[in-house]
Amino acid sequence: MAERTNEQWVSALRQRGPERDQALEELRAVLERGLFFYLRGDRSDMRDRPDDEIRQMAQDFAQDALLRILDNLDSFRGESRFMTWAAKIATRVAISELRRLRWRNVSLDYLTAGGETLPSLSGLAVTPDTGPQPERQAEREEVLRIIDHAFAEVLTERQRLALTAYMVDGVNVEEIARRLGSNRNAVYKVVHDARVKLKHYLREQGLTLEYILDLFASM
């Protein structure tokens, strides 16, 4: 079967009747196949699920994606292949839902409560004094003190919470936004500004990447 051009895809999907139904089914099938490949092959969190469960998920995601694609058809500018554009939307639909499921029952109280329950970056690097280069323990403590100070005093509360969730707990930006009642773009900006601030502050304190990595060499 010859591949449809962008114009053919858009035109068919704007029709009514059998031509549209055929295009929809073609699109649905391609997306479902691609989503199945992705879920089955690329996601360790899906590894233990049976094939027919994965297939059902791929079907559901493809179906949701179709609705989103039809809703947004007018915004397709033809600068990319139609299938790439459509697959982009399907990817967003699938991954958003997978993220929601992944974090659904996870308590991240500190995002709304803050305070002492906050996991810390410096806490990861606390080593017993019998670790490598014990004579450099005082230097290590100083670096951790600087990092703690940066988190506590240089970042805003919002930056501290968002960056901690993102970097230390590995929470995705969408989920952080959901917990904070914000949106993905805004939260990414908060995370990004926080990282930029930290970078500049650490440099101002005379710290370099090489120095810190050397000081905290793997054991």
Partner 1 sequence: MGNSQTRIQRFRDMIEEIFSIVDEDITCGECFEHIDVYVDKLRSGEEPERVLPEVKTHLAQCDCCREEFEALITILEAETGQR
Longest CA–CA separation in the chain, Å = 78
Residue 54 interacting with partner 1 (CB under 8 A)? no
Amino acid at the residue 144: L
Within 73-92, which residues bind partner 1 (CB under 8 A)?
79-81, 83-85, 87-88, 90-92
State the first-to-last Cα distance of the chain, in angstroms, to the nearest integer. Answer: 58
Residue 14 interacting with partner 1 (CB under 8 A)? no
Residue 103 interacting with partner 1 (CB under 8 A)? no
CB atoms within 10 A of CB 129: 8
3-state secondary structure of 133: coil
Within 185-214, which residues bind partner 1 (CB under 8 A)?
185, 188-189, 192, 195-196, 198-199, 202, 208-209, 212-213
- Residues 102, 103, 104, 110: what is their CA dihedral angle, to the nearest 10 degrees? 170
77 is written with which tokens?
């500018």
CB atoms within 10 A of CB 71: 10
Please state the closest distance from residue 209 (CB atom) to partner 1, in A: 4
Within 112-151, which residues bind partner 1 (CB under 8 A)?
121, 124-125, 127-128
Query: By the criterion CB under 8 A, which residues form the site for partner 1?
Result: 30-31, 33-38, 41-42, 79-81, 83-85, 87-88, 90-92, 94-95, 121, 124-125, 127-128, 166-168, 172-174, 184-185, 188-189, 192, 195-196, 198-199, 202, 208-209, 212-213, 216, 218-219
